[in-house]
Structure 1
Amino acid sequence: MKNSKILIIKNSWFHIVNNTENAGEYFYEVLFELDPTLKPMFKTNTEEQSKKLVTMLSYVISKLNALDEIMPQIQGLAQRHSKYGVNAEHYQVVGQALIQMLEYKLEKQWNEEIKDAWLEVYTILSSAMIRSASEVSNV
């Protein structure tokens, strides 16, 4: 990823974390609207799950300049998710929910440049997760 895109992602995420409320909860609202069949996969309440999501995103975003360093953690996350029933098709819905949440929370700041940067990083991460999960299921 180019440094300019990493900066866009970091700045937009910083804005969301520091200037909006309930980004994680809004993400899950959108996710379950897009695909209600996903809701039973989540055993914890939405508030707790939302905190986990925001924490994980914050961590990943802080490491965008060194994605190779955290790739084992990303792969481990994918393997855990596959045990919960997550499959490759679910990543598209999650990506759609993420983009909708970002657009809603960033409001007037949202633009194509921000969207492109987030889509790029999500594609990198979700592709790695799908590959990792498929390797485990093929073993």
Structure 2
Amino acid sequence: MALTPYEYALVRDSLAEARARMEPGDTRFYERLFALRPDYRKLFRDDIAGQGMKFMSTLSVVVDALTSEEVFRHDLRELAEGHAAIGITAAHYAPMGDALIDTFKEVLGPDFTTEMEDAWRSAYAHIAARMMEAGHS
């Protein structure tokens, strides 16, 4: 595991809190991503609210994959391959990570601590690297 147990707990708990504060289909992540990179809009389906629902579910799987090789092998490998199939490359991951952090900052406000941000950045870097590898293998 790339994270310490404490970092994993920060990621897991902050995700649970963010989910509690967000409505199903929340589009803030995509709004932030498209503000950072308008050219990414073409990579996603038209129904961004539906995509937002899928995004929150996917984040839960990502968090589970941080401690379970089986979850990674089965769930995230499929996600990685799907991303690669629609043209997601290594260059796409950094802006997506920035949009994710910005979304947590907005949703959790001052409850999103520097420690949480650092833990999320580590978690995201780890998962993104593994997804890039899996998507292009």
**With structure 1 as the length reference, what TM-score do the two structures score?**
0.88
> Which stretch of structure 1 is more off in the superposition, 25-34 or 5-14?
5-14
1:1-139 to structure 2, matched below 5 A, reads: 1-21=3-23, 24-66=26-68, 68-72=69-73, 73-135=75-137
Q: Distance in 1 between matches of 2:24 and 2:34?
A: 15
Return the letter of the residue paired with 2:72: M
Measured against aligned partners, the alpha-carbon deviations of 1:5-56 in whole angstroms (never above 9, x if no partner) come to: 1111111111111123368410000001111111111124000000000011
- Residue 3 of structure 1 and its aligned partner are, at CA, apart by 1.0
Q: Distance in 2 between matches of 1:58 and 1:118?
A: 13
Asked if the contact 2:93/2:128 (under 8 Å) is kept, the reply is: yes
Identical columns (%):
26
Asked if the contact 1:16/1:105 (under 8 Å) is kept, the reply is: yes
Aligned length in residues = 134
User: Could you say which structure has the higher helix fraction?
Assistant: 1
> Which stretch of structure 1 is more off in the superposition, 119-128 or 73-82?
73-82
Measured against aligned partners, the alpha-carbon deviations of 1:93-130 in whole angstroms (never above 9, x if no partner) come to: 10010010011111011221001110111011000011
> Which stretch of structure 1 is more off in the superposition, 16-25 or 105-114?
16-25
Asked if the contact 1:9/1:117 (under 8 Å) is kept, the reply is: yes
Structure 2: 5+ residue stretches without partners: none
**With structure 2 as the length reference, what TM-score do the two structures score?**
0.90
Asked if the contact 2:64/2:71 (under 8 Å) is kept, the reply is: no
Q: Distance in 2 between matches of 1:25 and 1:112?
A: 24
- Residue 133 of structure 1 and its aligned partner are, at CA, apart by 2.0
Return the letter of the residue paired with 2:93: Y
> Which stretch of structure 1 is more off in the superposition, 25-34 or 104-113?
104-113
Structure 1: 5+ residue stretches without partners: none
Return the letter of the residue paired with 2:112: W
Cα distance change of structure 1 residues 63 and 82 upon mapping to structure 2, 3 Å threshold: closer
